[in-house]
Homo-oligomer: A and B are copies of this chain.
Amino acid sequence: MKISKKYRMPCVVYSGATSLEGQFSGVRVDSGSICLDMSRMNQILEIHEADSDLVCQPGACWTDINDTLSDKGIPLFFPLDPAPTATIGGMLSTGCSGTNAVRYGTGKAEWFLNATVVLPSGEVIKTRRRARKSSAGFDTTKLFIGAEGTLGIVTEVTIRLTPVLPTTVAMVHFPDVGKAAEAVREALLAGVGIQCAELMDDIAMATINKYGQAGGDWPEKDTLIFKFQGPNNESLQESGRIVKKIVTKHGGFGFKFAKDDKEAEDLWDTRKNALYAGLASVPGSRSWSTDVCVPVSKLPELVYETKKDLQSSGLKGFIGGHVGDGNFHSLLLIKTEEDLEIAKKLVAKMVHKAIALDGTYTGEHGVGIGKKEYLVEELGEGTVELMKTVKKAIDPLGLLNPGKLYPDEVVAKTKD
């Protein structure tokens, strides 16, 4: 950071390389720029089992952390679950989430207890201590969560862990996504242990049937996959009974409750295979996965419109999402430059519609380069100005990850 400051050379922090909006791509300025690769700062430094927390370096991968805990027989895990190779530093910087958010919340809640951060001034700070709660002023940890490496370089993080519980999986199909969303809403009200509530639309199911790794014979209907959690098998069975009753009331059919762990895993893999099935359905294609999030009651409207737009665009793709939170992704399959142009228009339409429904154009993927043009539309000029005021106060030379996140941000100043 001191070198960056001395030579007025921008610095871009890199680690897991799983972000989807160009957050860690290089900066084109005459001075050149530094890419700071944190991926080998990947150690777990301290495990505090009795406190349910853990201290690690920013390059540590969340799946490795969870595997390590499991190998050591520690019945705890870190519940934020973005891409399997994402690392803690990037997860913090994106304010990430994933399928578990409906139960555990997102990276913007209290999973990152504190961070050690190198500020653009070169000063090293620790944002907070290790207690689970604190009211000692506004939480400076939160400044760096979602800031995409524009305010500081995260070098160490304390993450909170949560108990590993028995889980199982169920799948159920619906005549349409509106019914599915309503069923999830009511299931969440019942207070049973729901760890995940994932949607796959009819096209996704058809694609999985045809091209999925194991294939399948699923009804080609809008489908929910629930992951239940509870203290023991009896409570999982009871949750299944309660949720089956609710989903059936909303037109759900073919409710399949995994009979053992193997079947639970297979059902869950159906969802995981959707991306690969999609890519296989259009040989030679790349995928564009975009995400929006709206108040849950608005989700069906946005899904209907997006499906209609997708169909009339001629592009292949489908919709899946974390429906319990109103968050969904649209997977667009692209082969040509022409496809890319169509996809851009589709994404822009989704974005505008999500914002019009009091939602966000990014539920969990972040802003980066890909979506910074929409920030003002979502938050308003005043709020974006406030973000820029904070950015300028902390990084007056614009050294950290310039050109990302903030619209119209002045790129790093050249050496005076």
Residues of B within 8 A of A123 (CB): 382, 385
Q: Does A9 sit within 8 A of B, measured CB to CB?
A: no
Q: Does A127 sit within 8 A of B, measured CB to CB?
A: yes
Q: Which of A126-141 contact B (CB under 8 A)?
A: 126-140
Main secondary structure of the interface of A (DSSP, over half): loop
Q: Does A94 sit within 8 A of B, measured CB to CB?
A: yes
Q: Does A201 sit within 8 A of B, measured CB to CB?
A: no
Q: Does A410 sit within 8 A of B, measured CB to CB?
A: no
A78 and B145 alpha carbons, distance in the complex (Å) = 25
Residues of B within 8 A of A145 (CB): 138-139, 142
Q: Shortest Cβ distance from A193 into chain B, in angstroms?
A: 7
Q: Does A188 sit within 8 A of B, measured CB to CB?
A: yes
Contact check, B51 vs A296: say whether CB atoms are below 8 A apart: yes
Q: Shortest Cβ distance from A49 into chain B, in angstroms?
A: 9
Most buried by B among A135, A138, A322: A135
Contact check, A53 vs B295: say whether CB atoms are below 8 A apart: yes
Name A291's closest neighbour in chain B (CB-CB).
Answer: B135
List the one stretch of A32-40, A205-213, A267-275, A359-367 in contact with chain B: A359-367
A238 and B232 alpha carbons, distance in the complex (Å) = 10
Residues of B within 8 A of A97 (CB): 133, 135
Q: Does A339 sit within 8 A of B, measured CB to CB?
A: no
Task: List A residues at the B interface (Cβ < 8 Å).
Answer: 48, 50-53, 75-76, 94-97, 101, 105-106, 108-110, 119, 123-140, 142-148, 151, 163, 165-166, 185, 188-193, 229-231, 234-235, 238-239, 242, 293-298, 322, 325-327, 354-355, 358-367, 371, 375, 378-380, 382-383, 385-387, 389-390, 392-394, 405-406
**Beyond A123-B385, A137-B405, 15 additional pairs, beta carbon < 8 A:** A51-B295, A96-B135, A130-B358, A133-B363, A135-B146, A136-B361, A137-B406, A143-B386, A190-B231, A191-B193, A192-B231, A231-B238, A234-B238, A392-B393, A393-B393
